[in-house]
Amino acid sequence: MKEVRIESGIGCIVFLIVAIFTFGLFVGAVTWESVLESPDYYEVEMNVSAYCTCAKCCGEFADGYTASGKLAEGLIIAAPPKYPFGTIMDVPGYGVAVVEDRGGAIKGNKLDILFPSHQAALNWGRKHLMVKIYKKGK
Ligand SMILES: [Zn+2]
């Protein structure tokens, strides 16, 4: 009888370890941190300029929505079509943001980053930065 109890105890511990490991993998797969800690990115020198949703920045068709159909608020990047919507980028001095917008003048290694006001966009101006681009679908 003693041996049976020891075996079931070991079974419990193995189950716990497997459960914790599985849970850790699940949580790790969905957190931002796992994306950021991943070495699965490359850096590109980008010409980063700023914009807001006003008519000066977006023309007469400015409607407050991104090209991907999202409300233009928070941290949003407008990138050339070679970077699909949903691509995660880390722009130094701006933050980690997602590509959700396009623009007629956004070609080559050029990005536009969204600011909440025209003045804030003017304050950023234009910068040459090493931008981290995270590969999607990992
Ligand atoms: Zn503006």
Distance 123 CA to ligand 1 centre (A): 11
| 132 neighbors 97 (Cβ within 8 angstroms) | no
- Terminal-residue alpha carbon distance, the chain: 49
Distance 99 CA to ligand 1 centre (A): 18
| 40 neighbors 136 (Cβ within 8 angstroms) | no
Distance 52 CA to ligand 1 centre (A): 4
Domain residue ranges of the chain, discontinuous segments joined by +: 2-30, 40-134
Question: How do the pLDDT tens digits run along the chain, 138 residues long?
Answer: 555 555 556 665 566 555 655 555 555 555 566 656 656 899 999 999 999 999 999 987 789 999 999 999 999 999 999 999 999 999 999 999 999 999 988 999 999 999 999 999 999 999 999 999 998 633
Distance 117 CA to ligand 1 centre (A): 6
CATH architecture of the domain with residue range 40-134: Beta Barrel (2.40)
pTM tops 0.75, yes or no: no
pLDDT of the residue at 137: 38
**Angle at the Cα of 34 from the Cα atoms of 31 and 39, rounded to 5 degrees:** 155
Distance 58 CA to ligand 1 centre (A): 7
Closest CA to 53 of 106, 123, 120, 131: 120
Q: Where are the beta strands (DSSP E) in 29-122?
A: 41-51, 76-78, 88-91, 95-101, 110-114
Tell me how long the chain is: 138
Residue type, 59: G
Distance 9 CA to ligand 1 centre (A): 65
DSSP single-letter state for residue 49: E
Closest CA to 87 of 133, 31, 35, 23: 133
pLDDT of the residue at 59: 87
